[in-house]
Structure 1
């Protein structure tokens, strides 16, 4: 064995095998950006405003995995787990040091590269603006009803 091979073997034993794109893996809960269909930040997960968007994405691209940030309280993750179970989509809780530092709360990921351009849920599925017609009409004041 050459000295380089011995040193590589020792480094692999002490520090683990080398990873590709470690910063990207830390951000996206252990996955690579090229495999992601949809991401939600922790704030978006806590708000529960995008559950419908996640349901659409799971129905469009079935047989993939939902990664959930384990540092988020289960009270907020339970609607996503129930959705995952109802759509027969496997999910994994990621609870390591990287998940505590990551701004990402949820990732819908494929096992191979899919190269989707827009993965942020707020960009991909913008929240609909409330229509003016749907709002209840303003009531006239007491005096305007009698004097107009």
Structure 2
């Protein structure tokens, strides 16, 4: 005979929309996966950055078992480079169309993740610092510049 509490728990779960999720906020943040499985998160504001696409490519080339989670609420032009990359590298990808996944600049646009825990310390995409060009030295140097800088 089934336990009465167990039956009531199942009824409560069914009425509230199914099985309770573990860490739902974390799963919303990382397009349905857990933080410990994530290798790279590219925020919506950086999805079109060439450096982000290149970093994703390098990561997928090094780890053929990773998959790409794509925020399906993004414009198709933003999704396209990652779909193409996944196709070229024969990498599993999933479009995540849940309305919980927003398109604000700081929200996840692309998540590269493993199917199990990998515990990567730094997962946020960091755009490389822009290279500063040195200004060419002026052709005319003062007496003091010539004296002390040669």
Fold match, TM over 0.5? yes
1:118 aligns with 2:119: no
RMSD: 2.3
Q: What is the number of equivalent residue pairs in this alignment?
A: 135
Distance in 2 (alpha carbons) for counterparts of 1:68 and 1:41: 11
TM-score calculated relative to the size of structure 1:
0.81
Gaps of 5+ in 1: 141-148
Query: In terms of Rg, which structure is larger?
Result: 2
Aligned to 2:74: 72
Q: Tell me which stretches of 4 or more aligned residues in structure 1 moved more than 4 Å.
A: none
Equivalent pair of 1:45/1:106 in contact (CA under 8 Å):
yes
How far did 1:101 drift?
Answer: 6.6
User: Contact conserved, 2:71 with 2:109, CA < 8 A, in 1?
Assistant: yes
Structure 2: any 5+ residue segments left out of the alignment?
140-150
- CA deviation after TM superposition for structure 1 residue 13, in Å: 2.0
Contact 2:71 2:95 in 1 (8 A): yes
Distance 1:88 1:56 in 2: 14
Q: Does 1:37 pair with 2:39?
A: yes
Distance in 1 (alpha carbons) for counterparts of 2:50 and 2:109: 12
Q: Is the aligned partner of 1:9 residue 2:10? A: yes
1:79 shift after superposition: 1.0
CA positional deviation for 1:33 = 0.1
5 Å-filtered alignment, 1:1-148, equals: 1-14=2-15, 15-100=17-102, 103-122=107-126, 126-132=127-133
Larger proportion of helix = 1
DSSP-derived class of the 2:33 partner: coil
State the TM-score, normalized to the length of structure 2. Answer: 0.80
Q: Distance in 1 between matches of 2:112 and 2:21?
A: 21
**1:71-109 per-position Cα deviation (integer Å, ceiling 9, x unaligned):** 101011111111111111111100012113771100001
